[in-house]
Amino acid sequence: MGLNISKMSSRILLAAASAVILVAGISYWVHNQDYIGTDNGYVNANVVQIASRVTGQVTHLYVTNNQFVKQGQALLAVDPEPFIIAITKAKAQLAIEQANWKNAQLNAERTLSLVKNKNLPMQAGDDAQAKLQGAVAAVELAKASLAQAELNYKYTQITAPTTGWITNMSIREGNSVQANQPLFALIGHREFWVDANFKETELAKIRPGQKAVIAVDMYPQHTFKGIVESIGGGTGAAFSLLPPQNATGNWVKVTQRVPVRVHVVEPTKQYPLRIGTTATVTVDTRSSTLRAS
């Protein structure tokens, strides 16, 4: 009697365990149908390359590497002396051209008066007007040169175009910089997103505006809210330097991945994000489409 009860209890436990496993398996399958995830994701942000718009020597460096700066804050200064001299020369040239213009104007008035009285031929009047027009053009050119010189002087002070973190800085005071050559980078603090690379077989249910959960590897105890912003127009391999040529003789099918941009909603100062760090993204395909803010 006791043996039968023991066998019955074992069968009940086995059936219960099988039912639990079955329910768990079905729940896991249903969950995977609605929640699509990938651990092939990388944090990104807007990066501005800071460059000088004039050539010269760095006289002041106001920031250090990895420093947080605000928009409009001074970053560095280029030696202004050559540009001050250029402004002085441009002003002097403008004064000369304005004097020439006044002389040309007076000469044109006198010449046209003599032509009108037939004391000079018509050609003399045409020549005087041409010289006057040339003098006017020279004045405008001198004004433009002065404006450019003043603008170049303004460019000797380089300020932050946005708020964010200075990074990849190696420049020092005394270094010479070339115009439009990147010096260091500035990572914007307002917008972060994750470039999540989903398998092509997983994209059928993913739509822009769907909710997502982002787990960044550097903060395992914290998750971020996200919204699918856009889906890439091609696979990563399609835009590589040497894209694969699948029309060759020996071909092996490999599932490709397509980048999906997931906007990070309200990143917090307590958990600052770093571009290039890895992240896991899970998209709720049941969620209604929302707009990233």
Mean pLDDT lowest among 9-13, 69-73, 125-129, 285-289: 9-13
Query: At 255, is the pLDDT very low, low, confident or very high (cuts 50, 70, 90)?
Result: confident
Q: Does residue 133 fall inside a structural domain? A: yes
- What's the mean pLDDT in 216-238? 90
Please give the pLDDT value at position 3.
52
Please give the pLDDT value at position 110.
85
Q: What CATH number is associated with residue 141? A: 2.40.50.100
Kindly tell me if the per-residue pLDDT of 12 is higher than 80: no
Query: CA–CA separation, 228 vs 194, rounded Å?
Result: 9
Calculate the CA dihedral of residues 95, 98, 103, 107 and round it to 10 degrees: 170
Please give the pLDDT value at position 113.
83
Q: Give the residue numbers spanning the domain of 69.
A: 49-184
Rounded to two decimals, what is the model's pTM? 0.75
Q: Does residue 252 fall inside a structural domain? A: no
User: Mean pLDDT, the chain, as a whole number?
Assistant: 86
Q: Does residue 82 fall inside a structural domain? A: yes
Token pair for residue 174? 């005394």
Sign of CA dihedral 198, 200, 205, 210: positive
CA separation, residue 283 to residues 10, 28, 180, 240, 275 (Å): 41, 15, 41, 26, 21
Q: How many CB atoms lie within 10 A of CB 87?
A: 17
The three-class DSSP label of residue 47 is strand
Q: Does residue 146 fall inside a structural domain? A: yes
Give backbone dihedrals phi and psi of 36, rounded to 5 degrees, phi first: -110, 125
Q: What is the pLDDT of residues 25-55, one digit of tens each?
A: 544 444 445 689 999 999 999 999 999 999 9
Q: Does residue 158 fall inside a structural domain? A: yes
Q: What is the DSSP string of 30-42?
A: HHHHHEEEEEEEE
Q: Does residue 26 fall inside a structural domain? A: no
Higher pLDDT, 89 or 238: 89
Q: What is the pLDDT of residues 124-156, one digit of tens each?
A: 888 888 998 999 999 999 999 999 999 999 999
β-strand partners of 283: 36, 212
Q: Does residue 220 fall inside a structural domain? A: no
> How many structural domains are present in the chain?
1
Q: Does residue 22 fall inside a structural domain? A: no
Please give the pLDDT value at position 120.
78
